[in-house]
Amino acid sequence: MAQLKKSKGEITREKLTFVAAALFHEKGYHAVGLNEICAVGDLPKGSLYYHFPKGKEQIAIAVIDAAKHQVAADLRAATSSATSLEEFIDLLLARFAQNLEQSEFNKGCPITTINLEMAGTSDAIRAACADAFENWIGLCTGVFRDAGIADKKAHELAELIYASVEGAMILARAQRDVSPILRAAPYLKTLVA
Amino acid sequence: MAQLKKSKGEITREKLTFVAAALFHEKGYHAVGLNEICAVGDLPKGSLYYHFPKGKEQIAIAVIDAAKHQVAADLRAATSSATSLEEFIDLLLARFAQNLEQSEFNKGCPITTINLEMAGTSDAIRAACADAFENWIGLCTGVFRDAGIADKKAHELAELIYASVEGAMILARAQRDVSPILRAAPYLKTLVA
Amino acid sequence: MAQLKKSKGEITREKLTFVAAALFHEKGYHAVGLNEICAVGDLPKGSLYYHFPKGKEQIAIAVIDAAKHQVAADLRAATSSATSLEEFIDLLLARFAQNLEQSEFNKGCPITTINLEMAGTSDAIRAACADAFENWIGLCTGVFRDAGIADKKAHELAELIYASVEGAMILARAQRDVSPILRAAPYLKTLVA
Amino acid sequence: MAQLKKSKGEITREKLTFVAAALFHEKGYHAVGLNEICAVGDLPKGSLYYHFPKGKEQIAIAVIDAAKHQVAADLRAATSSATSLEEFIDLLLARFAQNLEQSEFNKGCPITTINLEMAGTSDAIRAACADAFENWIGLCTGVFRDAGIADKKAHELAELIYASVEGAMILARAQRDVSPILRAAPYLKTLVA
DNA sequence: ACATCCGGGACAGCCCGTTCAT
DNA sequence: ATGAACGGGCTGTCCCGGATGT
């Protein structure tokens, strides 16, 4: 049975992760200072190092992990509400497009910026990102396999579609226009048909 | 006839742009300091400020512009040496995969990291990235159109394929493996067939 | 009863203010760097930023406020030891003249230089200076009023005398000679007679 | 007869002095950069060092000298248009008060800020300021002597009145109100009566 | 256990005043 | 008379811990 009450420490820790996640999502890793995280979360600097003694990198990894579970939950929601692969793809694209627009094109993939900034510097962060990507692509692979596509192809398609969405979001952020995401839909659907 | 000799100032400026491009490419925008650029290029800080009085942002824009031309030249080279759309796609993917591997997965797209880091902060940088993306996709569009594909579809395909490559490179960096790029090839080829 | 022990932080903060006050007094606002303040006080920059998160301006305001209290205390001391208005004026002028000479004409009014440098730039600093001036002139006004001079005239005289001293100190610094201050005494005394 | 045409070099030099004078007047010495002077005057940096090879200090001295002549001319104008010592004092105060107000309290004495900032650092600048002050006070002394006041007293009065105006302008800048200048008038007049 | 204070250096980006080669 | 280069200094703020409660 789930724990009913969170200790004060857990609350602080979650708040830190939550605030850091939002800031990293919008601005990336290096543009966010620990001061800023504490200020937004209204927490003293000392608390941060109590909960994350290894510092900023550890926070980032916690954030990446949290994002992994969040997006996974979204994917499962899309899976259960979609009645066809086409609809699944539409839901997927629509969700990312919506997130972008609602945040005025500031929130794309929650971990891509961190990944690109830190992949060459911190192997722990890189690995955490790889784990998240793998998890998400794995979930999509499951969807396609459940629809009768062979294992290998299902994985390749999931990977390609996920990559396309990632890339389209990058274009969309640069152009401040979600069209690149939406224009990809019909072509991606033909691939899974 | 073209100018045979470059002035000393132009050489310094180009060196700055070149060094900054390499550093930004590998580490992104925020992780690179102006001190570092000067140190690597063996130039004093004053020179940098003389050529780029508006600072780091101005350097980044110059770098993005240089990358635009560099990639465009590569695309034209691929175009002229390819004898079919399939081969063009292969050359494209191979080139990016090769760049990644040769740099130990540190050099993906030369401007994507900057774009993601700064799109929400600097509209000038965002616009410069959008311009570069548009330029590259436009060149690909031309290739597809020359192969007989209708304008609209040519552009949509170019955009999707470019987005796929972008996304695949991100996955590849996280996984330290170029497979995601290469695995996309057959599917992208079916789209242009 | 007053607090007997100061916390470590308070001591550091006071040291910063004290060192900054001395430097600003001698060299003005812009000529003093935060690095210099830290170096003289043997403190790291982090400490400074911790106590004065808003930076140099905030330090300047703290310095102005400290100077206000310091000069006010001096004025009260002069008031209580003087037995006549004439003697009060003499003490006042003598004190400023002495400060100038002892500092080799480097320390005039502790806030005038800051005021002139920053009045047009920082309204907060300007206001802090205005507050200090008002405080000092107010104290002098009180002295004159206690000697039987009517309110309005007491204030006007206090203001004029203070202005004369300010101006005389400026001349004295330029000429490296306190005579302008001392020569003013008889005339100022006739005004209060 | 005076030279009718100025050489290009003289024009540039005068423009530099003029621009620098305005900037120093409003912001003081350290707050004005040579870049700023060149930018405002639309002149290349090289020109500045051609005309003032000793740099910023030399410019400041030229500015102080120009201010000396300018204020001296103003004093002579006041002298010739005033029909009494009282009127002379009124004209003097009114002029400074007007300058302050018209510049939104940014332009007090053209050299006091420089004097306070640099008296302890640059003896050349200090001496130039002392020379200007002496010149102005000398002119006033002449006025008083011409009105029949004995030499010594004439000089002391001139000095005191000038000091009062200096100090009153400082108060006026801090308070953003010219009243301290105007309130001094009647008392200063009684001194010369 | 948990939180907070108070530093502690290093370095960021920016811009300075200056000089040299042309 | 000037474009270019030159270092160094500015303020700000980074990420990080030891000391100190409670």
Is the shortest CB-to-strand distance from B43 to strand F under 7 Å?
yes
Q: Which residue has the tokens 């005394």?
A: C189
Nearest of C83, C65, C53 to residue C143 by alpha carbon: C83
DSSP-H helix ranges across C1-54: 8-27, 34-41, 45-51
Over 70: is that where the pLDDT of B98 sits? yes
Q: Which residue is nearest to nucleotide F3 (CA to C1')?
A: D46
* Residue with more model confidence, D149 or B1: D149
CA neighbor of D182 nearest in space, from B2, A42, A50, C160: C160
Mean pLDDT within A74-95: 95
* Residue D8: band (very low, low, confident or very high) from pLDDT cuts 50, 70, 90: confident
Say yes or no for a CB contact (<8 Å) between A116 and B175: no
**pLDDT at res. C89:** 96
Does residue D110 belong to the interface with chain C, where contact is any CB pair within 8 Å? no
φ/ψ of D71, rounded to 5, equals -65, -40
Which residue's CA shows the smallest distance to C1' of E20? D46
Chains touching A, CB cut-off 8 Å, 3+ pairs? B
B46-CA/F7-C1' distance, Å:
7
CA B188 – C1' E10 distance (Å)? 49
The CA–CA distances, whole Å, from A77 to A98, A166, D33 equal 16, 20, 61
Cα C161 versus chain centre, distance: 15
Identify the pLDDT of residue A6.
Answer: 58
**B163 strand F contact, CB < 7 Å:** no
Say whether pLDDT at D92 is over 70.
Answer: yes
DSSP state of A69: H
Q: What is the pLDDT of residue C7?
A: 77
- Asked whether the beta carbons of C114 and C125 are under 8 A apart, the reply is yes
Rounded distance between C-alpha atoms, residue B59 and residue B32, angstroms: 12
Question: DSSP for chain D?
Answer: ---SS--HHHHHHHHHHHHHHHHHHHH-STT--HHHHHHHHT--HHHHHHH-TT-HHHHHHHHHHHHHHHHHHHHHHHHHH-SSHHHHHHHHHHHHHHHHHHTTT--S-TTHHHHHHHTTT-HHHHHHHHHHHHHHHHHHHHHHHHTT--HHHHHHHHHHHHHHHHHHHHHHHHHT-SHHHHHHHHHHHHHH-
For chain B, the 3-state helix, strand and coil shares in percent, each to the nearest 5, are 75, 0, 25
The 10s digit of each residue's pLDDT in B51-84 is: 999 999 999 999 999 999 999 999 999 999 999 9
| pLDDT of amino acid D103 | 97
Cα(C14)–Cα(C10) distance, integer angstroms: 6
- Tell me which chain C residues have a C-beta less than 8 angstroms from the C-beta of D29: 30
Read off the pLDDT of each residue in C44-56 and give the average, rounded to a whole number. Answer: 94
Q: Torsion angle of alpha carbons D77, D78, D83, D86, nearest 10°?
A: -170
Q: CA-CA distance, B163 to D80, in Å (whole number)?
A: 82
Q: What tokens appear for A111 in the block?
A: 């971990």
Helices (H) and strands (E) in chain B, counts: 9, 0
In this prediction, residues B20-35 reach a mean pLDDT of 97
Tokens of A47: 């608390």
C-alpha closest to that of D96 among D1, D181, D14: D181
Q: Which band of pLDDT confidence, cut at 50, 70 and 90, is reported for residue C10?
A: confident
F7 C1': nearest CA residue: B44
Measured between alpha carbons, how far is D9 from D60 in angstroms, rounded to an integer? 19
Q: Which of A101, A118, A170 to mutate to test the interface with B (most CBs of B within 10 A)?
A: A170
- Rounded Cα distance between D163 and C181, Å, is 9
Give the pLDDT of residue B6: 64
Percent over 70 (pLDDT), chain A: 96
The predicted model gives A26-47 an average pLDDT of 93
Q: How far is the C-alpha of D55 from the C-alpha of D64, rounded, in Å? A: 15
CB burial readout C10-26, b (16+ within 10 A) else e: eebbebbbebbbbbbbb
**Cα–Cα distances in angstroms (integers) from residue B56 to residues B22, B53, D187, in the given order:** 14, 9, 58
Whole-number distance in Å between A49 CA and E3 C1': 10
Give the span between the Cα atoms of B184 and A167, in whole angstroms.
13
The nucleotides of chain F lying under 7 Å from a protein CB are: 1-20
A173 to B119: CB separation less than 8 angstroms, yes or no: yes
At B140, the pLDDT band (50, 70, 90 cuts) reads very high
- Residue C181 region, left (φ>0) first, then alpha (ψ -120 to 50), else beta? alpha
**C28 within 8 A of C113, measured Cβ to Cβ:** yes
Q: Which of residues 155-184 of D touch C (CB under 8 A)?
A: 156-157, 159-160, 162-168, 170-171, 173-176, 180, 183-184
Output the 3-class SS for chain A. Answer: CCCCCCCHHHHHHHHHHHHHHHHHHHHCCCCCCHHHHHHHHCCCHHHHHHHCCCCHHHHHHHHHHHHHHHHHHHHHHHHHHCCCHHHHHHHHHHHHHHHHHHCCCCCCCCCHHHHHHHCCCCHHHHHHHHHHHHHHHHHHHHHHHHCCCCHHHHHHHHHHHHHHHHHHHHHHHHHCCCHHHHHHHHHHHHHHC
Chains that touch B (3 or more CB pairs under 8 A): A
**Alpha-carbon gap, residue C169 to D117, rounded angstroms:** 13
Give which of B179, B170, B133, B165 is closest to A109, Cα–Cα: B170
Write the DSSP string, B86-104.
HHHHHHHHHHHHHHHHHTT
Q: What is the mean pLDDT of residues A129-157?
A: 97
Q: Which residues of A123-157 are buried (b: 16+ CB within 10 A; e: fewer)?
A: eebbbbbbbbbbebbebbbbbbbeeebeeeebbbb
pTM (two decimals): 0.92
Q: What is the mean pLDDT of chain D?
A: 95
- Which amino acid appears at position A54 of this protein? K
Instruction: Tell me the CA end-to-end span of chain C in Å, nearest whole number.
Output: 43
Contacts of B174 in chain A (CB under 8 A): 115, 119, 126, 129-130, 133
Mean confidence (pLDDT) of chain A:
94
Q: Which of residues 126-155 of B touch strand F (CB under 7 A)?
A: none
Structure tokens that stand for D173 in this block: 């800048």
Token code pair at residue A171 = 């274009």
Evaluate if residue C1 carries a pLDDT over 60: no
Whether B176 has a pLDDT exceeding 90, the answer reads yes
Model confidence at C107, pLDDT cuts 50, 70, 90, reads very high
Task: Report the C-alpha dihedral over residues B82, B26, B108, B58, rounded to 10 degrees.
Answer: -80
Structure tokens at D114: 């420089």
Structure tokens at D188: 């200063």
Query: In this structure, what token pair is assigned to residue C9?
Result: 């932080």
Residue B83 DSSP code: S
**Which value, in Å, is the radius of gyration of the alpha carbons in chain B?**
18
Of B93, B62, B88, B64, residue with least CA distance to B76: B88
3-state secondary structure C61-101: HHHHHHHHHHHHHHHHHHHHHCCCHHHHHHHHHHHHHHHHH
